[in-house]
């Protein structure tokens, strides 16, 4: 392997350390304890893993964690009523509804019901619009974490060609906006793009966020490029055991890239650390306080 391994687990731990320190300071100086409400509808196994992790990390950071678990057959109206209550609860500063939702519930309607000031996922159209127009808002956790991972390798992204593979509302589109804001030249490619390998080979920075296991091969990568793998694909081995793999064929890619994030241990942990950061930011803004300095604690 020639590529530098960008350690998301270590960076997430550093960020969480900073968030915990700022949270303690907030409690001591303002008597304010940030609160995060996590809503899970149904019993999707992967969602249960992520929600458990979010709740644990929230408590570890010294924040209040409010768990709401609703049955799979919960009606959209009942979910919207819960969100309305969380929007007005002064102990709750962040609200997130774990995705995906059951098929009978409209996610766009649910996400639109969250108070934008408490939208710590950054999925609300108000926050998406603020990001698109360069205004302060809450930024989606995964793209925010990807930018922090990139800064581990690039002090300045200006003029670099970034290719974002995927155009989802929760990763691809906000990722392109964040890279543009750092003066990258940004290309967004997707399932309808022609000649994906050629387009990806143009990238100094390649962000893979399509949800297709090992789609990106080693020969799709420009030698020395930085690869950020957002994929979280659960695949079952012939012996029946499950494993997590990314959207990038890691071994092939690591032989060509200059730096790469692993799966697991890359973007995933940063998603949760940035959720805590967003919750802290939201609580400060709701209290009329300046945004906290969340520069991750120095590494070893
Ligand atoms: N409301 C939201 N729903 C979903 C989001 C989100 O940001 N907000 N993102 C994904 C899932 N996700 C967070 O919810 C998430 C995925 C993966 C990880 C993570 O730490 N993965 C670990 C491995 C953990 C495992 O064994 O699966 C890793 O990559 O190292 C954290 C959060 C969709 N839904």
The predicted pLDDT at position 300 comes to 67
Q: Please tell me the residue having the least CA distance from ligand 1 atom 11.
A: 50
Q: Is the bond into 100 cis (omega within 30 degrees of 0)?
A: yes
Average pLDDT over residues 177-202: 98
Average pLDDT over residues 143-168: 98
Query: Candidates 7, 13, 50: which one to mutate for ligand 1, based on the most atoms within 8 Å of Cβ?
Result: 50
Average pLDDT over residues 201-228: 98
Tally the residues of the chain: 300
The predicted pLDDT at position 299 comes to 80
3-state secondary structure 167-236: CCCCCHHHHHHHHHHCCCEEEEECCCCCCHHHHHCCCCEEEECCCCCCCECHHHCCCCCEEEECCCEEEE
Q: Report the share of the chain in percent with pLDDT over 90.
A: 96
CATH of 141-267, one of 3.30.1330.10, 2.60.120.260, 3.40.50.720, 3.10.110.10: 3.40.50.720
For residue 96 and ligand 1, the question of a CB distance below 6 A is answered with yes
CATH of 31-124, one of 3.40.50.970, 3.40.50.450, 3.30.70.980, 3.40.50.10860: 3.40.50.10860
Average pLDDT over residues 176-197: 98
Q: Could you read off the pLDDT of 74-120 as tens digits, one per residue?
A: 999 999 999 999 999 999 999 999 999 999 999 999 999 999 999 99
Q: Could you read off the pLDDT of 19-74 as tens digits, one per residue?
A: 999 999 999 999 999 999 999 999 999 999 999 999 999 999 999 999 999 999 99
Nearest atom within ligand 1 for CA of residue 141: 7
For residue 264 and ligand 1, the question of a CB distance below 6 A is answered with yes
* Domain positions in the chain: 31-124, 141-267
Nearest atom within ligand 1 for CA of residue 99: 3
Task: Judge whether 31-124 and 141-267 match in fold.
Answer: yes
Bind-site residues for NADP(+): 166-168, 232
Strands 161-165 and 185-189, bridge-based pairing? parallel
The predicted pLDDT at position 296 comes to 80
ipTM, interface predicted TM-score of the complex? 0.98
Q: Please tell me the residue having the least CA distance from ligand 1 atom 4.
A: 99
For residue 50 and ligand 1, the question of a CB distance below 6 A is answered with yes
> How close is the Cα of 50 to the center of ligand 1, in Å?
5
Q: Could you read off the pLDDT of 228-278 as tens digits, one per residue?
A: 999 999 999 899 998 999 999 999 999 999 999 999 999 999 999 999 999
Confidence of residue 298 (pLDDT cuts 50, 70, 90): confident
pTM above 0.90, yes or no: yes
Query: Candidates 54, 232, 236: which one to mutate for ligand 1, based on the most atoms within 8 Å of Cβ?
Result: 232
The predicted pLDDT at position 1 comes to 60
């Amino acid at each position: 392997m020639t590529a530098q391994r960008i350690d998301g687990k270590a960076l997430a731990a550093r960020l969480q350390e900073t968030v915990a320190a700022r949270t303690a300071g907030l409690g001591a100086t303002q008597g304010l304890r940030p609160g995060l409400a996590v809503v899970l509808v149904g019993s999707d196994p992967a969602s249960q893993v992520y929600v458990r992790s979010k709740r644990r990390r929230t408590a570890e950071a010294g924040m209040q964690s409010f768990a709401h678990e609703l049955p799979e057959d919960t009606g959209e109206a009942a979910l919207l009523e819960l969100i309305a209550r969380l929007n007005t609860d002064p102990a709750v500063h962040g609200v997130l509804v774990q995705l995906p939702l059951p098929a009978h519930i409209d996610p766009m309607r649910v996400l639109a019901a969250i108070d934008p000031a408490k939208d710590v996922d950054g999925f609300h159209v108000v926050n998406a619009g603020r990001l698109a127009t360069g205004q302060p808002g809450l930024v989606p956790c995964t793209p925010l974490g990807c930018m922090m991972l990139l800064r581990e390798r690039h002090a300045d992204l200006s003029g670099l060609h970034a290719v974002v593979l995927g155009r989802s509302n929760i990763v691809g589109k906000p990722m392109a906006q964040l890279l543009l804001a750092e003066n990258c030249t940004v290309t967004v490619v997707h399932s309808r793009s022609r000649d994906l390998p050629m387009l990806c080979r143009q990238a100094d920075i390649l962000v893979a966020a399509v949800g297709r296991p090992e789609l990106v091969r080693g020969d799709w990568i420009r030698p020395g490029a930085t690869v950020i793998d957002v994929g979280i694909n659960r695949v079952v081995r012939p012996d029946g055991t499950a494993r997590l793999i990314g959207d990038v064929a890691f071994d092939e890619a690591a032989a060509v890239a200059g730096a790469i994030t692993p799966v697991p241990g890359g973007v995933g942990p940063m998603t949760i650390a940035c959720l805590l950061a967003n919750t802290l930011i939201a609580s400060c803004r709701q209290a009329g306080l300046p945004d906290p300095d969340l520069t991750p604690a120095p590494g070893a």
